Amino acid sequence: TCSFRDWLAAAGPAGELLAYLGAVEESYDTVAQIVRTYVVEGPEGKELDAQFFEDLAIKDAGHRRLFQAWFEAACEVRTFAGGAQGRPGTVVEWLRSQGLEEYTMHLESAGYDDLSLLADLQGAELAEMLDAAGVTKPGHRAKFRRATDDLRAMS
């Protein structure tokens, strides 16, 4: 495993990506977690979810290209997209399939115990659910958004 500093320096050899070090350290535990969160299987193979750029507020096109090049080289990513998962039968199975099982108790105690209810959440309602479940890490919020979009598409 490499440190966030080493990762950013490798992705941007001139040091231009080190500006994101604070945001990355605050929001993620490891580089591997970032990869697990944003590299998804798509119809053409591995894809980088564009939510990565939003969650880290990466607006500079040059910085986006550097990150994309790193994901292409390190993870065999080919395109940007969102992921698709099969639909589990329960909220617990759904959370487990997304690697978000740590939020099970919070969702249940807040009354979010039905997959069809979760599939209908969008915008402010989805943000309210994420807040109620204590989901503060941008990567986890991205996974929830992507997963609820997938649930809605399968309904």
Sign of dihedral through CA atoms 96, 152, 155, 80?
negative
Q: Is 85:147 a contact under the CB 8 Å cutoff?
A: yes
Q: What is the pLDDT along the chain (155 residues), one digit of tens a residue?
A: 689 999 999 999 899 999 999 999 999 999 999 999 999 887 667 888 878 988 998 888 789 888 988 998 899 886 554 333 344 567 877 787 777 888 888 998 888 888 888 989 999 999 999 999 999 999 999 989 988 987 887 66
The answer to pTM > 0.75 is: no
Give pLDDT, residue 86: 41
Q: How many Å apart are CA 128 and CA 114, to the nearest integer?
A: 16
Whole-number pLDDT of residue 20:
97
Q: pLDDT tens-digit profile of 64-89? A: 888 988 998 899 886 554 333 344 56
Can you give the pLDDT at residue 76? 85
For the chain, the residue count is 155
Q: Give the pLDDT of residue 46.
A: 86
Which of 43, 102, 104 shows the shortest CA–CA distance to 78? 43
Tell me the CA distances in angstroms from 16 to 2, 50, 58, 79, 141, one per residue in order: 18, 20, 12, 23, 26
Residue carrying structure tokens 């199975």: 93
Question: Tokens at residue 145, please?
Answer: 């958004």
Per-residue pLDDT at 37: 94
Tokens 């590299």 appear where?
39
